[in-house]
C-alpha cells in the first residue's frame, strides 16, 4: 500500500507543481507587505581569480559585506590528504571579517597529529581561525533605485524586497514574518534540491516564491546534493549567497520495474523514489542525508558508485532483484 501511495504521489507531482506555480506568498496575502520607495543605492564589485561579484545596497559597507559573504560561500572545506602517521590539516567554515577598513575571509583550521608508531598519543590543535585572503573592493558609484525598507519608520523592519516579474522590487516585507509562512521548514515540499552543486550553500526560490537556504551534503560516491538548511535565512543574513534554480519539477516517475521504484540519473547522481520508513532510523526518527521531499514526492539522492543505475547507500529496495527503470 505504501508503495502504491508513493507511486501515486510521484504521478501527481507534476500536476501539483503546476497548481503551486499560481501560489505566491508575497501577493496572496500570506506575507504582510508595504510599498518600497525610490532612493540612491551604492554599488561595488570585487574580483577574486576569474570570478567577479557585483552588488548594490543601501550603503557601501552593506555592499562590501554582501560581496565578501558571497565569495566566502564559494570556498569549500579543505583536507591535505594525509594518510597513516602524516600530519592532518583540515579547514572549514569560511566566514567574513571586517578589520582595519578591509574585508578578509577566514577559515577554521584544525591540525591533527595521529597516534604514531612510537606510541605517542594523538594530538589535536584547533580549530583556529586563519586568514585566507583579502577581498579587494572597488566602488562603482551611486544609482537611483527602488529599495527596502520603506521610508515610513513604522515599517523599518520590512527590509526584504520582493522582486516582481519586471525585475524591480514590488514590495517590502519583514523577514521574520516571511519565515512564519514560507516553505523553508522540515515539512517543506522541497526539503531536497536536485540542482547541481556549485557552492557550499545557495538560496533557491521555490514555486510559491519562498526563498530557502540549501547546504551541500555528501550522498556517497564522491557526490553531493543540496539539502534544506533549517537555520538559514535568505531574506536577511544569508541573502548574499549565490542563487540556485528550481529544478525539482523534473522528478522521476514510476517506471515499469516490478519493485515500483524509479531512478533518474544525471552525471553520476541518482534521484530515486523511496519509502520514508526505509531510510529512517527507528530509534532516533532521523532520516539519512540525501533523503527527503522534493516537489512533494519522497526521494533519495545518491551517488552511483559502480554505474549500475542503483544508488549507493543502505536503501532496502536495493535488495530487490529488479533494477529500477527510468
Q: Mind listing the pLDDT tens digit for each residue in 134-175? A: 999 999 999 888 888 998 889 999 999 999 888 889 999 999
* Number of compact structural domains in the chain: 2
pLDDT at 251: 62
Same domain flag for 202 and 101: no
Which of 110, 141, 172 is the C-terminal boundary of a domain? Answer: 141
pLDDT at 318: 38
Same domain flag for 312 and 186: yes
Same domain flag for 101 and 236: no
pTM: 0.64
Euclidean distance between CA atoms 71 and 202, whole angstroms: 12
pLDDT at 255: 43
pLDDT at 15: 34
Euclidean distance between CA atoms 21 and 271, whole angstroms: 23
Task: Answer whether residue 115 is part of any domain.
Answer: yes
User: What count of other Cβ atoms lies within 10 Å of the Cβ of residue 261?
Assistant: 26
pLDDT at 84: 85
Task: Answer whether residue 9 is part of any domain.
Answer: yes
Task: Answer whether residue 160 is part of any domain.
Answer: no
The cell for 77 is 572545506
DSSP class of 185: S
The range of the structural domain enclosing residue 282 comes to 1-25+182-326
Say how far residue 303 (Cα) sits from the centre of its chain. 18
Which of 88, 123, 141 is the C-terminal boundary of a domain? Answer: 141
- In the three-class reduction of DSSP (H, G, I as helix; E, B as strand; rest coil), residue 49 is classed as coil
Euclidean distance between CA atoms 273 and 259, whole angstroms: 11
Task: Answer whether residue 150 is part of any domain.
Answer: no
Long-range contacts of 39-42 (CB under 8 A, 24+ apart): 39/144, 39/145, 39/147, 39/151, 40/142, 40/143, 40/144, 40/145, 41/142, 41/143, 41/144, 41/145, 41/147, 42/139, 42/141, 42/142
Give the residues of the chain that fall short of pLDDT 70.
Answer: 1-22, 250-262, 267, 304-326
Task: Answer whether residue 77 is part of any domain.
Answer: yes
**Helices H / strands E in the chain, number of each:** 3, 19
Same domain flag for 255 and 207: yes
Chain-wide mean pLDDT for the chain?
81
Same domain flag for 106 and 194: no
Task: Answer whether residue 90 is part of any domain.
Answer: yes
Amino acid at each position: 500500500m505504501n508503495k502504491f501511495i508513493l507511486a501515486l504521489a510521484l504521478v501527481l507531482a507534476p500536476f501539483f507543481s503546476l497548481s503551486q506555480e499560481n501560489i505566491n506568498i508575497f501577493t496572496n496575502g500570506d506575507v504582510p507587505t508595504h510599498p518600497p520607495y525610490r532612493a540612491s543605492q551604492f554599488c561595488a564589485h570585487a574580483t577574486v581569480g576569474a570570478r567577479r561579484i557585483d552588488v548594490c545596497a543601501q550603503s557601501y559597507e552593506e555592499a562590501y559585506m554582501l560581496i565578501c559573504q558571497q565569495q566566502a560561500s564559494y570556498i569549500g572545506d579543505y583536507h591535505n590528504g594525509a594518510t597513516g602517521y602524516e600530519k592532518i590539516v583540515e579547514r572549514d567554515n569560511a566566514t567574513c571579517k571586517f578589520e582595519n577598513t578591509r574585508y578578509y575571509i577566514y577559515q577554521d583550521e584544525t591540525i591533527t597529529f595521529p597516534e604514531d608508531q612510537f606510541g605517542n598519543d594523538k594530538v589535536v590543535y584547533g580549530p583556529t581561525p586563519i586568514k585566507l585572503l583579502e577581498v579587494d573592493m572597488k566602488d562603482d558609484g551611486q544609482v537611483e533605485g527602488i529599495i527596502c525598507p520603506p521610508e515610513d519608520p513604522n515599517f523599518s523592519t520590512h527590509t526584504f524586497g520582493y522582486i516582481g516579474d519586471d525585475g524591480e522590487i514590488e514590495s517590502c516585507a519583514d523577514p521574520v514574518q516571511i519565515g512564519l509562512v514560507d516553505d523553508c521548514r522540515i515539512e517543506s515540499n522541497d526539503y531536497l534540491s536536485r540542482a547541481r552543486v556549485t557552492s557550499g550553500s545557495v538560496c533557491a526560490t521555490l514555486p510559491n516564491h519562498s526563498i530557502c537556504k540549501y547546504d551541500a551534503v555528501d550522498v556517497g560516491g564522491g557526490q553531493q546534493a543540496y539539502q534544506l538548511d533549517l537555520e538559514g535565512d535568505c531574506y536577511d543574513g544569508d541573502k548574499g549567497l549565490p542563487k540556485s534554480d528550481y529544478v525539482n519539477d523534473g522528478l522521476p516517475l514510476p517506471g515499469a520495474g516490478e519493485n515500483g521504484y524509479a531512478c533518474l540519473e544525471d552525471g553520476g547522481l541518482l534521484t530515486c523514489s523511496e519509502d520514508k520508513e526505509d531510510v529512517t532510523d527507528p530509534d532516533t526518527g532521523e532520516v539519512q542525508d540525501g533523503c527527503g521531499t522534493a516537489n512533494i514526492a519522497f526521494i533519495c539522492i545518491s551517488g552511483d558508485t559502480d554505474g549500475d543505475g542503483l544508488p549507493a547507500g543502505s536503501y532496502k529496495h536495493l535488495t530487490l532483484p529488479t533494477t529500477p527503470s527510468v
